[in-house]
């Protein structure tokens, strides 16, 4: 056991270094993310009731009631209903390992969508997770239309996919509890390891929808920009609301990855410093204080590196900001050069005066 822990400690150092430096390209590519809401502002608003051939090949936003001749379900669990898109989420009742090598591990039973591989547990005896019997999945109607325009639901990214309110007549093959379908040998109140529960979210048919995409032969299909940016989105909103939703998605993803990169810097440093943290752990009095100090220093260093890297990436990805920075640098350089030249001329005049 101790040998295994020492091995994991040695592995943590290179993994920490890799994680730290991996944050740099994560920030770079994230700052190059395209804001689809800006592109969607150029979309041509269309009503699904009136077909217009003059917009062929252009980015459009067609609005109207989305309909399909199909009913969508998830046999043998959910009976078919008027959905355009359906998403199945699955959780399994499984053992979860918490703790650390220094403080020891503990185990508890939890519902989770990603159960841990019990073969990797520090103390696997008596804490075995079986393979997950059912996986998450999604389903789409093969075709749908908004008025006179056909759309392809399987290719559209739908916003506002909402939780499906399940009733006894909607589900089969399990027991309904708290809007979830429980499948197992025990009960929802006292589940056993390996039992699963299913929850559904869907984009309903027959509701007002705006789809952003390219008009092509009576269809709305994926629009591809000059830089291979793709737009094929659907929202239960009007065009302006859809653009606002795209902006929210962009900012949420942008800042989510930014904060994730900060976490990568911090985690990488902490993993790289694991030998020092382990040594301090053997000192009864200084152990906790020393580890807190190391964590504090690591966070400050991570924050500084994150801010500098983020600022550089933002500037280099923003042409206007880059030009402004270059102009400011040029102006500052010219100012100091002029001042130096002026000081030099003044020194020459003083020398001439003294010599005279």
Write down the pTM of the prediction: 0.77
- The average pLDDT across 70-98 equals 95
C-alpha–C-alpha distance, residues 59 and 41, integer Å: 10
Confidence of residue 195 (pLDDT cuts 50, 70, 90): very high
Convert the pLDDT of each residue in 112-164 to its tens digit: 999 988 877 776 667 889 999 899 999 999 999 999 999 999 999 999 899 99
C-alpha–C-alpha distance, residues 247 and 66, integer Å: 23
C-alpha–C-alpha distance, residues 112 and 94, integer Å: 7
Confidence of residue 294 (pLDDT cuts 50, 70, 90): confident
C-alpha–C-alpha distance, residues 65 and 47, integer Å: 10
Convert the pLDDT of each residue in 20-79 to its tens digit: 999 999 999 999 989 999 999 999 999 999 888 899 999 999 999 999 999 999 999 999
Share of the chain above pLDDT 90, in %: 63
Convert the pLDDT of each residue in 237-263 to its tens digit: 999 999 999 999 999 999 999 999 999
Q: Is the pLDDT of residue 103 over 70?
A: no
pLDDT top residue among 353 and 278: 278
């Amino acid at each position: 056991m101790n040998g295994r822990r020492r091995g994991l400690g040695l592995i943590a150092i290179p993994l920490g270094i890799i994680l730290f430096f991996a944050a740099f390209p994560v920030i770079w590519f994230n700052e190059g993310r395209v804001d689809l809401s800006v592109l969607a502002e150029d979309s041509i608003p269309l009503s699904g009731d009136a077909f217009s051939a003059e917009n062929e090949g252009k980015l459009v936003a067609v609005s109207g009631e989305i309909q399909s001749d199909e009913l969508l379900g998830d046999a043998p669990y959910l009976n078919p209903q008027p959905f355009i898109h359906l998403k199945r989420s699955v959780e399994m009742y499984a053992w979860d390992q918490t703790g650390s090598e220094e403080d020891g591990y503990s185990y508890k039973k939890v519902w989770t969508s990603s159960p841990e591989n019990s073969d990797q547990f520090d103390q696997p005896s008596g804490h075995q997770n079986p393979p997950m019997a059912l996986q998450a999945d999604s389903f789409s109607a093969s075709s749908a239309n908004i008025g006179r325009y056909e759309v392809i639901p399987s290719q559209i990214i739908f916003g506002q996919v909402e939780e499906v309110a399940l009733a006894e007549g909607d589900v089969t093959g399990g027991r309904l509890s708290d809007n979830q379908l429980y499948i197992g040998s025990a009960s929802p109140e006292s589940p056993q390891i390996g039992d699963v529960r299913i929850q559904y979210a869907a984009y309903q048919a027959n509701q007002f929808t705006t789809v952003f995409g390219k008009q092509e032969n009576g269809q709305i299909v994926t629009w591809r920009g000059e830089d291979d940016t793709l737009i094929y989105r659907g929202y239960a909103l009007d065009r302006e609301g859809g653009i606002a939703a795209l902006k929210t998605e962009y900012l949420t993803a942008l800042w989510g990855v930014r904060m994730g990169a900060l976490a990568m810097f911090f985690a990488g440093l902490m993993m790289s410093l694991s030998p020092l943290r382990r040594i301090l752990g053997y000192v009864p009095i200084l152990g906790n204080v020393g580890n807190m100090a190391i964590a504090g220093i690591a966070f400050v260093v991570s924050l500084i590196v994150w801010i500098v890297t983020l600022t550089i990436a933002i500037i280099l990805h923003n042409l206007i900001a880059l030009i402004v920075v270059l102009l400011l640098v040029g102006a500052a350089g010219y100012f100091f050069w002029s001042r130096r030249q002026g000081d030099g001329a003044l020194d020459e005049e003083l020398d001439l005066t003294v010599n005279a």
